[in-house]
Amino acid sequence: MNFGNRGNDINPDDVASVTVLAGPAATALYGSRASNGALIITTKSGNISKKAEITFSTTNTFSSVLKLPDFQNQYGQGFYTGVNSDGTLSYDTQDWGDNWSWGAPFTGKVEPWGQQIDGVQQQKPYSATPNNIKHFFSTGFVTNNNIGITSGNDKSSYYLGLNSENSNGIYPTSVDDYNKYSVRFNGKANLSNNFYTSVNFNYVRIQSNNVAGGQAGGSVLQSLYQTPRDIPIDKMGNLNNKYNGYGYTDAGGVYHPDKFGFYNEFYPSPWLLLRDYKNYDDVDRVTGGINLGYKPVPWLDVLERVTTDFSSDRRRLLTPKFSYTPADPGVIGDPAYPAGIEVVSNGGYEEDTYTTGEINHDLMVTAKKNLNDDFSGSLMVGNNVRLNNSTVTVTSTNQSAGLITPGWYNFGNSNGPIYATNYHSTQRRVSVYGDLNLAYRNMVYLDATARNDWSSTLPVDANSFFYPSVSGSFIFSELLKGSTIEKILNYGKLRASWAQVGNDAGPYQLTTGYSQASIADGYTNGNTIFPFSGVPGLMINSTLGDARIKPEITTSREIGTELGFLDNRLSVIANYYSNRSKNQIVASSVAPSSGYLFSIVNAGVIQNQGVELTLRGTPIKTADFSLELFATYTRNKNKVLSLPNHAQIQVGGFNGMAIVAQEGKPYGEFYAVSNQTENGHTVVGASDGEPLPTANAVYLGSYNPKYQGSFGGTLNFKNTWMLSFLFDTKQGGVYYSNTKSGIDFNGTSAETGGNRNPQIWANSVINTGTASQPVYQTNTTAKFIPQDYYANFEPAGMDVVDASYVKLRSLQLEYQLPARLLNNSPFGHASVGLFGNNLFLWTPKSNKYVDPEMNSSGSGNEQGFDFTAQPSVRNYGFNIKVTF
Partner 1 sequence: MRPINILKRIALIACPAILLLSSGCKKFLDVNQDPNNAASAEPAQLLPTVEASIGVVLGDDYYTYGNIWSQFFTQSAVASQYKSIDQYAQVNADFNYGWQHLYQKALINDQLMISNNGSNPTAVQYLAIGYVLKAYSLQLATDAFGDIPMSEALEGSADKNPHYDPQAAVYDSIFALIEKGKALMDNSDPNNPGSADLVFQGDMDQWTAFANTLELRAYLRLSQVDPDKAQAGIAALYGTNPTFLTSNAQISYSSTGGNQNPYYIKAVALGYYENLAASGTAVNAFIRNSDPREFAVFEELSGDTIAYLNQGTFASFVNKTCSPPSALVGGDPQDAASALAPVFLISASESYFLQAEAVARGWASGSASSLFTSGIDASFAADGLSGTDAATYIASAPDAVFPSGTADQIKAIITQKYYAMCGSQGFEAWTEWRRTGYPTFLVTSAAAGGRPVPLRFLYPQTELTGNTNYPGTVTAATPVWWDK
Instruction: Closer to partner 1 by CB, 448 or 570: give it.
Output: 448
422: contact with partner 1 by CB under 8 A = yes
Is the N-terminal amide bond of 531 cis, ω within 30° of 0?
yes
Cross-strand partners of 714: 628, 724
Distance CA 817, CA 628 (A): 22
342: contact with partner 1 by CB under 8 A = yes
Q: Binders of partner 1 among 576-595, rule CB under 8 A?
A: 588-595
Q: Are 606 and 584 in contact (CB under 8 A)?
A: yes
Q: Pick the piece of the chain touching partner 1 (CB under 8 A) from 138-146, 284-292, 465-473, 530-538.
A: 530-538
Distance CA 449, CA 58 (A): 43
Q: How far is the CB of 450 from partner 1 (least distance, A)?
A: 12
Q: How far is the CB of 673 from partner 1 (least distance, A)?
A: 6
The pairing of beta strand 300-326 with beta strand 255-260: parallel
Selected binder of partner 1 within 117, 142, 640, 673 (CB under 8 A): 673
771: contact with partner 1 by CB under 8 A = yes
Q: How far is the CB of 507 from partner 1 (least distance, A)?
A: 6
457: contact with partner 1 by CB under 8 A = yes
Distance CA 637, CA 733 (A): 12
Contact track, partner 1, 676-705, x by CB under 8 A: ---------x-xx----xxxxx--------
Neighbours of 346 (CB within 10 A): 19
Q: Pick the piece of the chain touching partner 1 (CB under 8 A) from 312-320, 653-661, 736-744, 863-871.
A: 653-661
In b/e form, how buried is each residue of 14-29, taking b as 16+ CB within 10 angstroms? beeeeeebbbbbbbbb
Instruction: Closer to partner 1 by CB, 341 or 485: give it.
Output: 341
Q: Binders of partner 1 among 782-821, rule CB under 8 A?
A: 785, 788, 792-793, 795-796
344: contact with partner 1 by CB under 8 A = yes
Distance CA 101, CA 129 (A): 12
- HSE at residue 356, side-chain half, CA atoms within 13 A, is 11
Q: Binders of partner 1 among 371-390, rule CB under 8 A?
A: 383, 385
Distance CA 369, CA 355 (A): 45
Q: In terms of Cα–Cα distance, which of 74, 80, 107 is closest to 785?
A: 80
- The 3-state DSSP class for residue 121 equals strand
Instruction: Closer to partner 1 by CB, 367 or 510: give it.
Output: 510
Neighbours of 428 (CB within 10 A): 15
Q: How far is the CB of 90 from partner 1 (least distance, A)?
A: 9
Cα 407 to chain centroid, rounded: 33
653: contact with partner 1 by CB under 8 A = yes
Q: What are phi and psi of 672, to 5 degrees?
A: -165, 175
Q: How far is the CB of 873 from partner 1 (least distance, A)?
A: 32
Q: How far is the CB of 797 from partner 1 (least distance, A)?
A: 11
Q: Pick the piece of the chain touching partner 1 (CB under 8 A) from 24-32, 40-48, 527-535, 557-565.
A: 527-535
Instruction: Closer to partner 1 by CB, 392 or 839: give it.
Output: 392
Distance set, CA 338 to CA 43, 117, 342 (Å): 66, 13, 11
Distance CA 707, CA 635 (A): 4
426: contact with partner 1 by CB under 8 A = yes
Q: Pick the piece of the chain touching partner 1 (CB under 8 A) from 37-45, 196-204, 341-349, 622-630.
A: 341-349
Neighbours of 792 (CB within 10 A): 10
332: contact with partner 1 by CB under 8 A = no
DSSP line for 384-442: EEEEEEEEEEEEES-TTT-BSSTT--SGGGBSSSPEEEEEEEEEEEEEEEEEEEEEETT
Q: Pick the piece of the chain touching partner 1 (CB under 8 A) from 451-459, 469-477, 624-632, 840-848.
A: 451-459
Q: Pick the piece of the chain touching partner 1 (CB under 8 A) from 88-96, 103-111, 168-176, 835-843.
A: 88-96
Q: Binders of partner 1 among 256-295, rule CB under 8 A?
A: 266
In b/e form, how buried is each residue of 202-228, taking b as 16+ CB within 10 angstroms? bebebebbbbbbbebebbbbbbbbbbb
Q: In terms of Cα–Cα distance, which of 268, 267, 272, 265 is closest to 339?
A: 265
Q: How far is the CB of 791 from partner 1 (least distance, A)?
A: 8
Distance CA 701, CA 480 (A): 49
Q: Binders of partner 1 among 613-652, rule CB under 8 A?
A: 646-648, 650
Q: How far is the CB of 355 from partner 1 (least distance, A)?
A: 15
Q: Pick the piece of the chain touching partner 1 (CB under 8 A) from 176-184, 668-676, 740-748, 846-854.
A: 668-676
Q: Pick the piece of the chain touching partner 1 (CB under 8 A) from 49-57, 122-130, 426-434, 824-832.
A: 426-434
Q: Binders of partner 1 among 26-85, rule CB under 8 A?
A: 79-82
658: contact with partner 1 by CB under 8 A = yes
Q: Pick the piece of the chain touching partner 1 (CB under 8 A) from 235-243, 669-677, 841-849, 871-879.
A: 669-677
Instruction: Closer to partner 1 by CB, 158 or 267: give it.
Output: 267
400: contact with partner 1 by CB under 8 A = yes
Contact track, partner 1, 532-571, x by CB under 8 A: xxxxxxxxxxx-x-x-------------------------
Q: Binders of partner 1 among 106-135, rule CB under 8 A?
A: none
15: contact with partner 1 by CB under 8 A = no
253: contact with partner 1 by CB under 8 A = no
* Beta-strand runs (E) in 69-176: 80-83, 89-91, 110-117, 120-125, 140-152, 156-168
The pairing of beta strand 734-737 with beta strand 829-842: unpaired
Distance CA 733, CA 156 (A): 53
Q: How far is the CB of 635 from partner 1 (least distance, A)?
A: 29
In eight-state DSSP terms, residue 88 is: P
Q: How far is the CB of 185 from partner 1 (least distance, A)?
A: 25
409: contact with partner 1 by CB under 8 A = no
Q: How many residues bind partner 1 (CB under 8 A)?
A: 118
Distance CA 794, CA 216 (A): 22
